[in-house]
């Protein structure tokens, strides 16, 4: 397996843009570039050649820089089929089960349709390395707000994420973990958060992101993944919306 790494670039207040890079060829793929300028600066600073852009859903803080980068680099843009109207400049529209092979065949993705936050939301799963690029589906101790989908769809999406391998690393787009921890601590005790909190505090104090999340840890403590049925999921999501 050729070595690839994932680098995080913070933009806006709490977004991350991910660069999947192949160091030996200095090529990369970018996920959810909400702003073109910081991404372009990063590419230049590190001497990277952009080969493709991946978009998880149509919100502007995820796609805002994609058109400018596409034009500058002349690269394909992969976007959800159901967001064709909102992302007309994409070159390839994807739906459940499709595969994408990038970085000279070294970076192979499966597309998962995970509706809830938006109806067309997709995630990209690298099964060999067990990396999930999940946009706004799941966060540390939280899940994406349901702007378009129903509670049933949100719950089903959590079940699909839960079914992924325990070793999966979740590259979610926002640094919401601390805010979600504060919410979780107000819930009647449902899981022991002590070691989660210790790890989080030491990472954040050192200026490090809480992302990627370890899916096995989230399966043990994330209330939205632990919700046993759609009623419980709905109750939690409503509480979180008010927090
Ligand atoms: Zn979003």
The Å distance, Cα 136 to ligand 1 centre, comes to 5
The Å distance, Cα 13 to ligand 1 centre, comes to 14
pLDDT digits (tens, 9 = 90+) for 143-192: 999 999 999 999 999 999 999 999 999 999 999 999 999 999 999 877 78
CATH number belonging to the domain at 1-94, selected among 3.30.1310.10, 3.20.20.210, 2.60.300.12, 3.60.15.10? 3.60.15.10
Residue (of 181, 187, 174, 175) closest to 238 by Cα position: 187
The Å distance, Cα 220 to ligand 1 centre, comes to 25
The Å distance, Cα 61 to ligand 1 centre, comes to 7
pLDDT at 189: 72
The Å distance, Cα 145 to ligand 1 centre, comes to 8
Residues within 5 Å of ion ligand 1, judged at the Cβ atom: 59, 136
The Å distance, Cα 3 to ligand 1 centre, comes to 30
Pinpoint the residues of the chain covered by CATH 3.60.15.10. Answer: 1-94, 109-243
- What distance in Å separates the CA atoms of residue 70 and residue 51, rounded to the nearest whole number? 10
pLDDT at 55: 98
pLDDT at 188: 85
Structure tokens at 36: 């073109």
- What distance in Å separates the CA atoms of residue 102 and residue 52, rounded to the nearest whole number? 8
The Å distance, Cα 57 to ligand 1 centre, comes to 7
- What distance in Å separates the CA atoms of residue 211 and residue 174, rounded to the nearest whole number? 8
- Give the strand pairing for 122-126 and 107-113: antiparallel
Q: Please report where in the chains the tokens 């109806």 appear, as a residue.
A: 119
The Å distance, Cα 55 to ligand 1 centre, comes to 11
Asked if 126 contacts 108 with a C-beta cutoff of 8 angstroms, the reply is yes
Domain 109-243 matching CATH 3.40.50.300: the answer reads no
- Give, for all 243 residues of the chain, the pLDDT tens digit: 779 999 999 999 999 999 999 999 999 999 999 999 999 999 999 999 999 999 999 999 999 999 999 999 999 999 999 999 999 999 999 999 999 999 999 999 999 999 999 999 999 999 999 999 999 999 999 999 999 999 999 999 999 999 999 999 999 999 999 999 999 999 987 778 999 999 999 999 999 999 999 999 999 999 999 999 999 999 999 999 998
């Amino acid at each position: 397996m050729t070595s690839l790494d994932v680098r995080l670039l913070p933009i806006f207040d709490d977004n991350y843009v991910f660069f999947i890079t192949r160091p030996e060829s200095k090529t990369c793929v970018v996920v959810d570039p909400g702003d073109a300028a910081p991404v372009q600066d990063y590419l230049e600073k590190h001497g990277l050649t952009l080969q493709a852009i991946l978009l998880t859903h149509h919100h502007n803080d995820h796609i805002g820089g994609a058109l400018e980068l596409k034009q500058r680099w002349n690269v394909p843009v992969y976007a959800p089929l159901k967001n064709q109207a909102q992302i007309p400049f994409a070159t390839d529209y994807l739906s459940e089960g499709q595969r994408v092979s990038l970085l000279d065949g070294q970076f192979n993705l499966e597309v998962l349709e995970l509706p809830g936050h938006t109806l067309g939301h997709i995630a990209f799963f690298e099964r060999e390395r067990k990396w999930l690029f999940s946009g706004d589906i799941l966060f540390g101790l939280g899940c994406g707000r349901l702007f378009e989908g129903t509670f049933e769809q949100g719950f089903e999406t959590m079940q699909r994420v839960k079914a992924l391998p325990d070793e999966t690393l979740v590259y979610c787009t926002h640094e919401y973990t601390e805010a979600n921890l504060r919410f979780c601590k107000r819930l009647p005790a449902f899981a022991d958060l002590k070691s989660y909190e210790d790890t989080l505090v030491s990472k954040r104090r050192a200026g490090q992101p809480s992302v990627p999340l370890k899916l096995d840890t989230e399966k043990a403590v994330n209330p939205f993944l632990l919700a046993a049925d759609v009623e419980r999921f709905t109750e939690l999501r409503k509480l979180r919306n008010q927090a």
